[in-house]
Each structure stands twice: as C-alpha cells, then as structure tokens.
Structure 1
Amino acid sequence: MIEAVGLTKRYGAKTAVYNLSFQVRPGAVTGFLGPNGSGKSTTMRMILGLDNPTSGQVTIGGFPYRKLPNAPRQVGALLDAKAVHGGRHARNHLLCLAQLSGIPARRVDEVLGVVGLQDVARKRSKGFSLGMGQRLGIAAALLGDPQVLLFDEPVNGLDPEGILWVRNLMKSLAAEGRTVFVSSHLMSEMALTADHLIVIGRGQLLADMTIKDFISHNSADFARVRTPDTEPQQREKLTAALTEAGGQVLPEQDGALRVTGLPLPRISDLAHSADVRLWELSPHQASLEEAYMRMTQGAVDYRSTIDQKAGLQQELPPGAMPPQQMPVAGQGQPGWYAPPPPQQGGQPFAMPQGQPGPYGAPAAPGAGQPGLYGAPAAPVAPGAADVNPYAQAAPQAPAQPPAAPAAAPAAAPDLTKPEDAR
C-alpha cells in the first residue's frame, strides 16, 4: 500500500504539492488524475524517492522507498519510456536492470514475451517507435515481479490493440492483489480501467473516491425527451406541463428536450396526463470526462485564448448579412449541464461575458481593445461593423479634403478628383 501524509513539495517560491494525503490500496486500479502542472509527476517522483518532500512523508508498505530492501523487487515504475540508452538492445537493457537487482536472466525473456517484444529483443531501442518504447518501459516495471506498480501515461503511443492489452494487464495485476497506481489524461480509458480515483489540482487534493461516486458528485443527470417532430404543439404542451411541475426544460439542437429536476417516471406520468405522445424518454448520466472537467475547471493553469482570426476574414459585400451564430442549447441558463463545481481548486472558470466572438464562441478577453496580440489595433472605417463585425476594414479617405491654410500660396491637389489625378 502507498500512503502519503501531509506531502508538500516546494521549488523556491513555487509550491508544486501542498499538504497532500491519500492512500493507494492493493487489489484495485487507482487512477491519478489532474490537469497539466497539478503536481502528479512530482508526487510520483516523491513516492519513488527521486525527489525529497519539503514536508510530510510518503511510504510504501510502511517504509520510505529508499529504505526498502531491494526496492526494484518490491516496486516497479514507468515514469519516462524514453529513459533508455538508445544504443542498447532491448534485451540487454533489461538484462542490466536485472543484474543490478539480483533478478535471474530468465525473467528478462519472460517479460519480453509478456509485453510482446520477443521478436525485437536484439534490436537497438533508438529505433523503437513510441509504442514499442512504452512496452519496453512496462517490461522494466514488471521485471522484479513487484507488488506495487506505478505507471505514468502507460498507453501513450500505443495502438488500439496495445491500449486494450494495457487495460487488461492493469486489471489482472490488481486482481492478483497488487497495488496499481496509474496516471493518465485519457478519461475514457480511466473510466474502463480504474476502480478508484485520486484527483488533484494545483497540488491539492480534490477528490479521493470511487469512479461511480466521483461522477455522481460532480455532474447532474438529465432526461432526454422527444415528441413527434410533426406536432410541435405537443412539444410546447409538454414543456409547459414539465415546467409547471418544477422541472427545468432546455431545448437541444436536434429538437429534443433536456429535462432536469424530475425523475423519469414523473416525466412519463406528466406526459400521459397532458395527452402527449413520446418518441423518446431516456436517462443521461454524465461521463467521467464531463465530471472531471467540471471538478477541475477552476484548477487549470494553461488555457487557450480564442483565436479571433483578426484580419484574415474577407469583408462581406455591402448589404450582406454576417453568418448566423449557432446557438448552444441552454447555455447561460440555470441548470445548464450541472450545478457549479466544488471550490477546492479555486474559483470556477467562467467564459467572458459580452459580445459573441467568431463561430458563435464568446469573445476573448480584451478583444477589440488596442494592442490585442501585442500589436496596435487597426482603425476601422465607420459602418464597417454593420457589414462584418469581425473583419478589419482599411481606413477610408475623407469625403472632402481639409481646407488649405489661408497663407498657403496654393491648395494641394486633390487626387480624389479625376482632373487633379491626371
């Protein structure tokens, strides 16, 4: 079992991990989730004794990693698949690790067969693909037949068959009673592999619970309801009945209704009472990805700004209408998708309010202000916003030239007039 108590790591003024406490128990696959820069890699390095914590402690089976007798026989880890001498054969790389830990040579050939690299055992690792390098790293982690295993992005670069193999491998290792700790950004894969989740954001613990509980606590389920498309009056009648009963009804782009606040049997009873025929009445449960995004949206450090594509769109001809913005069903209304997320990771991120940006997205902060993207804003001709609000029009010459000073001997020629242009 892995146990962290009050784990804190600072690099100068930067606090990578703060007061982190959790347990990774044997017999289950524990997923380790968090945004980039949240402290996952730092935590795993401290578990393996590669970094010393500023305060707190982390133990494996009751001992710090550095005090474990013959640690490679008890703990296996894959943190960086590229940490291999490129000039060595795959077998020689594993053989060196085995000799350092007192592992018999026959185990090298066993793990090469487990990861499927027996046919390339005599090839130099510098010629391996990303997926082959991942398999070699997993082989190194399995070399000592350890009871505790840590994997950082183990399916990175693997093809679908390889991903399925890793998924089954993790489950089989946990079924043998081993402690399996897996860090990954692939939510769909974590949903299929992990039994328990530890989620951190900005170095602090956000969640420590089963996947089922995590999704339940960080999402709002809703029901999809559809009435006959040829009878819009029934859709309106059902909307009124559901709203009167305390439900929240939001239209979706495909014509269905999204209903929250009412259970499915109640929705069915209300539709029957209103004499409304239903073509669809189905429950919707949020995915792990949706729940994760809602939990961690206040702890994301790296966000993309919205590309306004300033100056790249051609101006529409006079009188033409700008392209219609595609509405998002229910966006901005109460009950959209789910209630606000927990506040442990900081303030939840909110899209900037104001005028819509291109393609229906909200405008980026500072859009339209001088100096956006580091360059002064180009002047926009009067009325250009009525033609295309996202295109930058070139400045137009004034209708009448400025009057020449009275003391000037002659007015400057007006090149806007045909006779002066000649």
Structure 2
Amino acid sequence: MIEAVGLTKRYGDKTAVYNLSFQVRPGAVTGFLGPNGSGKSTTMRMILGLDNPTAGRVTIGGYPYRRLPNAPRQVGALLDAKAVHGGRSARNHLLSLAQLSGIPARRVDEVLGVVGLHEVARRRSKGFSLGMGQRLGIAAALLGDPQVLLFDEPVNGLDPEGILWVRNLMKSLAAEGRTVFVSSHLMSEMALTADHLIVIGRGQLLADMSVTAFISANSADFARVRTPDTEPQQREKLSAAITEAGGHVLPEQDGALRVTGLPLPRISDIAHDSDVRLWELSPHQASLEEAYMRMTQGAVDYRSTVDQKEGLQQPLPPGAQPPVPVPGQGQPGWYAPPPAPPGGQPFAPPQGAPARAPAGPYGAPGAPGAAPGAPAPNPYAQPAPQAPQGPPPAVPPAAAPASAPPAAADLTKPEDAR
C-alpha cells in the first residue's frame, strides 16, 4: 500500500504539491488524475524517492522507498519510456536492470513475451516507435515481479490493440492483489480501467473516491423525454404537468425535454395521467470526462483564448470569388499559352510562325478578331484585373522574341503539362 501524509514539495517560491494525503490500496486500479501542472509527476517522483518532500512523508508498505530492501523487486515503475540507452537492444537493456537487482536472466525473456517484444528483443531501442518504447518501459516495471506498480501515461503512443492489452494487464495485476497506481489524461480509458480515483489540482487533493461516486458527486443526472414532434401541444402539456409535480424542465435543441428532480417511473406516471404519448424516456448519466471537467474547471492553469484574428476577414458575398493575381498579366509583352489538349504536347509558338491566330484549346480556332500573333483566350483563366480604358497593346510578330519567355519555356516540359 502507498500512503502519503501531508506531502508538500516546493521549488523555490513555487509550490508544486501542498499538504497532500491519500492512500493507494492493493487489489484495485487507482487512477491518478489532474490537469497539466497539477503535481502528478512530482508526487510520483516523491513516492519513488527521486525527489525529497519539503514536508510530510510518503511510504510504501510502511517504509520510504529508499529504505525498502531490494526496492526494484518490490516496486516497479514507468515514468519515462524514453529513459533507455538507444544503443542497447531491448533484451540487453532489461538484462542490465536484472543484473543490478539480482533478478534471474530468464525473467528477461518472460517479460519480453508478456509485452510482445520477443521478436524484436535484439533490435536497438533507438529504432523503436513510441508504442514499442512504452512496451519496453512496462516490461522494465514488471521485471522484478513487484507487488506495487506505478505507471505514468502507460498507453501513450499505443494503438487500440495495445491500449486494450494495457487495460487488461492493469486489471489482472490488481486482481492478483497488487497495488496499481496509474496516471493518465485519457478519461475514457480511466473510466474503463480504474476502480478508484485520486484527483488533484494545483498540488492539492480534490477527490479521493470510487469512479461511480466521483461521477455521481460531480454531475447532474437527468431524464431525456421526447413527445411526438407533430404534436407540440403535448410537449407543452407534459412540461406543465412535470413542473406542477416538482420537477424541472429544460428544452433541448432537438425538441426533447431535459427533466431533473423526478425519477423515471414518476415521469412515466405523469405522462400517462396527462394522456401524453412518449417517444423517448431515457436516463442520462454524465461520463467521467464530464464529471472531471466540472471538478477541475477551477484548477486549470492553461486555457485557450479567442483567436485575435477573428472578425478581421469579412465573408465574401455569395457567388463571389477573389481574383487570382497573375504576375505580369496585362503588361506589354506578357504571354500565357493556352492549355494543352489531352494527351498532346503543350503549346509552344515555333520560331518564324506565320502571323495568324493559333488554334485554341482542343484544336478550336482562335478568337475572331484577335490581333495577329496574339494567343487564343483561355476559357479556364481567372478574369484579369480591370485595365485603363483603351485598346489592349498588341505584340507585333516582328517583336516576338526569338525564344519563348521563361514562363512559356517551363510549360513546354512534359512533366509540367501533367
């Protein structure tokens, strides 16, 4: 069993943990919850003797961690899965830990099989993915077959199959009578794994109770009631009857009613007595995430603010499209060839071409009345910005450069045509 009494830790003028007292009992998975910066990691480090408390004490089985005989065989922990020498293989990493603690080498192969790394046991850990590193860290925690286990974010980086495996592992360890203390930010996973919760905020204890009691204490259960949508008068009739019976009714956006203060059988009786047909009558209980958010909303240090750019960009009118600026468009000598036909080569004006309108896209002739040597209009191009009134400047054939400009030259590459 882990027991903390008046645990306090200060770093200079900052208090990370203040007067924290709790017990982690064997035979159950105890979840350790709290916002970022609430002191969870600091508390775990003090449990393992990595940090000395400024005040108070924390013991494991009645002894501080540093006074436990052969502590690695009594306590296993995963705090940082990256705390591995990258040049060592998974097996050599665990083998070095086993030799330091007097653990038989055969145990290394056993835990590698438990965590599913036996096929990559001789690979260097620096090539491991985040999930593989987590599995290696769990293997190190299980190496000494300890009775007390601490895990900090054990499912970080695991795939759904790995998360399910960790969940079943935690439950099986607790079922064997071990003390399992798990810190996590995944509320959905804690709801499925933990039996008991310890919640802290800004270094202080907020809750120490079972998961069921925590949800019940930090949420408002209600009944969802729905009447036929085609008969709104029935909804109004039922709402008045429930209010008269002492219930509280709030309308929801989809037309249903949220009823609090009355049990479901009583609501059913009221609807029957009022001759109101019900399409839905269902209980609603808050999730662990909803209860947690309600409990810790005053202990969150890092909150997002509204984007300061909001409102600077006005929406365009319906159907309006912003013009696409084309560098050099509308300037004397500007040239853009028409798109190439499907499967053909991009258009490039040959040297010494006759003064005629080139063929448009898909072999169509150029626009009637176009100036000699002027390209055919591109039906897919965005409209050019309005130019001053007057005839557009035409480029005579003699003024055409001997070689195509860079833009046209780039477009003659087959890869650009695709």
Q: Would you say same fold, with TM above 0.5? A: yes
- Residues 338 and 347 of structure 2 are in contact (CA less than 8 Å); yes or no, is this contact kept in structure 1? no
- Residues 310 and 391 of structure 1 are in contact (CA less than 8 Å); yes or no, is this contact kept in structure 2? no
Q: Structure 1 residues 392, 163: CA separation in 2 closer, same or farther (over 3 Å shift)? A: farther
Equivalent in 367, 379, 384 of residue 364 of structure 1: 367
- Residues 340 and 417 of structure 2 are in contact (CA less than 8 Å); yes or no, is this contact kept in structure 1? no
Q: Structure 1 residues 320, 65: CA separation in 2 closer, same or farther (over 3 Å shift)? A: same
Cα deviation, residue 322, structure 1 = 20
Name the count of aligned residue pairs. 405
- Residues 251 and 330 of structure 1 are in contact (CA less than 8 Å); yes or no, is this contact kept in structure 2? no
Higher-Rg structure is 2
Cα deviation, residue 405, structure 1 = 56
Cα deviation, residue 100, structure 1 = 0.5
Cα deviation, residue 420, structure 1 = 48
Q: Secondary structure at the match of 1:413?
A: helix
- Residues 201 and 296 of structure 2 are in contact (CA less than 8 Å); yes or no, is this contact kept in structure 1? yes
**2: CA distance between counterparts of 1:164 and 1:115?**
12
Cα deviation, residue 251, structure 1 = 1.5
1:14 and 2:14 are equivalent in the alignment: yes
- Residues 188 and 289 of structure 1 are in contact (CA less than 8 Å); yes or no, is this contact kept in structure 2? yes
**2: CA distance between counterparts of 1:415 and 1:38?**
59
**1: CA distance between counterparts of 2:5 and 2:31?**
18
- Residues 31 and 196 of structure 1 are in contact (CA less than 8 Å); yes or no, is this contact kept in structure 2? yes
Q: Structure 1 residues 141, 346: CA separation in 2 closer, same or farther (over 3 Å shift)? A: farther
Cα deviation, residue 318, structure 1 = 12
- Residues 34 and 199 of structure 1 are in contact (CA less than 8 Å); yes or no, is this contact kept in structure 2? yes
Residue deviations 1:264-286 (CA, integer Å, cap 9, x gap)? 11111111121110011011111
**2: CA distance between counterparts of 1:2 and 1:413?**
75
Q: Secondary structure at the match of 2:172?
A: helix
Cα deviation, residue 394, structure 1 = 24
Equivalent in 390, 394, 397 of residue 384 of structure 2: 394
**1: CA distance between counterparts of 2:156 and 2:52?**
27
In the alignment, which residue of structure 2 is the partner of 1:350?
Answer: 348
Cα deviation, residue 241, structure 1 = 1.4
Residue deviations 1:70-90 (CA, integer Å, cap 9, x gap)? 110000000000111111100
- Residues 336 and 408 of structure 2 are in contact (CA less than 8 Å); yes or no, is this contact kept in structure 1? no
**2: CA distance between counterparts of 1:221 and 1:64?**
42
- Residues 32 and 182 of structure 2 are in contact (CA less than 8 Å); yes or no, is this contact kept in structure 1? yes
**2: CA distance between counterparts of 1:218 and 1:30?**
18
**2: CA distance between counterparts of 1:405 and 1:348?**
19
**2: CA distance between counterparts of 1:172 and 1:281?**
38
Cα deviation, residue 345, structure 1 = 69
Cα deviation, residue 174, structure 1 = 0.5
Cα deviation, residue 338, structure 1 = 65
Cα deviation, residue 233, structure 1 = 1.1
Q: Structure 1 residues 44, 350: CA separation in 2 closer, same or farther (over 3 Å shift)? A: farther
- Residues 220 and 339 of structure 1 are in contact (CA less than 8 Å); yes or no, is this contact kept in structure 2? no
Residue deviations 1:231-264 (CA, integer Å, cap 9, x gap)? 1111111112112222221122222111111111
Q: Secondary structure at the match of 1:299?
A: coil
**2: CA distance between counterparts of 1:224 and 1:239?**
12
In the alignment, which residue of structure 2 is the partner of 1:309?
Answer: 309
**1: CA distance between counterparts of 2:96 and 2:78?**
17
- Residues 218 and 292 of structure 1 are in contact (CA less than 8 Å); yes or no, is this contact kept in structure 2? yes
Residue deviations 1:123-158 (CA, integer Å, cap 9, x gap)? 111111110000000000000000000000000010
Q: Structure 1 residues 341, 100: CA separation in 2 closer, same or farther (over 3 Å shift)? A: farther
Give the TM-score, by structure 2 length: 0.75
- Residues 196 and 209 of structure 1 are in contact (CA less than 8 Å); yes or no, is this contact kept in structure 2? yes
- Residues 30 and 195 of structure 1 are in contact (CA less than 8 Å); yes or no, is this contact kept in structure 2? yes
Cα deviation, residue 414, structure 1 = 47
- Residues 225 and 280 of structure 2 are in contact (CA less than 8 Å); yes or no, is this contact kept in structure 1? yes
**1: CA distance between counterparts of 2:8 and 2:153?**
23
In the alignment, which residue of structure 2 is the partner of 1:91?
Answer: 91
Q: Structure 1 residues 229, 75: CA separation in 2 closer, same or farther (over 3 Å shift)? A: same
Cα deviation, residue 344, structure 1 = 71
- Residues 253 and 328 of structure 1 are in contact (CA less than 8 Å); yes or no, is this contact kept in structure 2? no
Cα deviation, residue 207, structure 1 = 0.6
Residue deviations 1:332-382 (CA, integer Å, cap 9, x gap)? 99999999999999999999999xx99999999999xxxxxxx99999x99
**2: CA distance between counterparts of 1:376 and 1:413?**
21
1:376 and 2:372 are equivalent in the alignment: yes
Q: Structure 1 residues 118, 321: CA separation in 2 closer, same or farther (over 3 Å shift)? A: closer
**2: CA distance between counterparts of 1:237 and 1:54?**
63
**1: CA distance between counterparts of 2:213 and 2:40?**
21
**2: CA distance between counterparts of 1:246 and 1:334?**
82
Q: Structure 1 residues 45, 135: CA separation in 2 closer, same or farther (over 3 Å shift)? A: same
Residue deviations 1:150-187 (CA, integer Å, cap 9, x gap)? 00000001011100100000000001110000000011
Cα deviation, residue 313, structure 1 = 2.7
- Residues 341 and 363 of structure 2 are in contact (CA less than 8 Å); yes or no, is this contact kept in structure 1? no
Residue deviations 1:23-46 (CA, integer Å, cap 9, x gap)? 001111000000100000000000
- Residues 251 and 329 of structure 1 are in contact (CA less than 8 Å); yes or no, is this contact kept in structure 2? no
Does 343-352 or 286-295 show the bigger shift?
343-352
**2: CA distance between counterparts of 1:353 and 1:97?**
78
5 Å matches for 1:271-290?
A: 271-290=271-290
Q: Secondary structure at the match of 2:407?
A: coil
Cα deviation, residue 111, structure 1 = 0.2
Q: Which runs of 5+ in 1 are unaligned?
A: 368-374, 383-387
Does 113-122 or 358-367 show the bigger shift?
358-367
Q: Structure 1 residues 411, 205: CA separation in 2 closer, same or farther (over 3 Å shift)? A: closer
- Residues 18 and 204 of structure 1 are in contact (CA less than 8 Å); yes or no, is this contact kept in structure 2? yes
Q: Secondary structure at the match of 1:286?
A: coil
- Name the % identity: 91
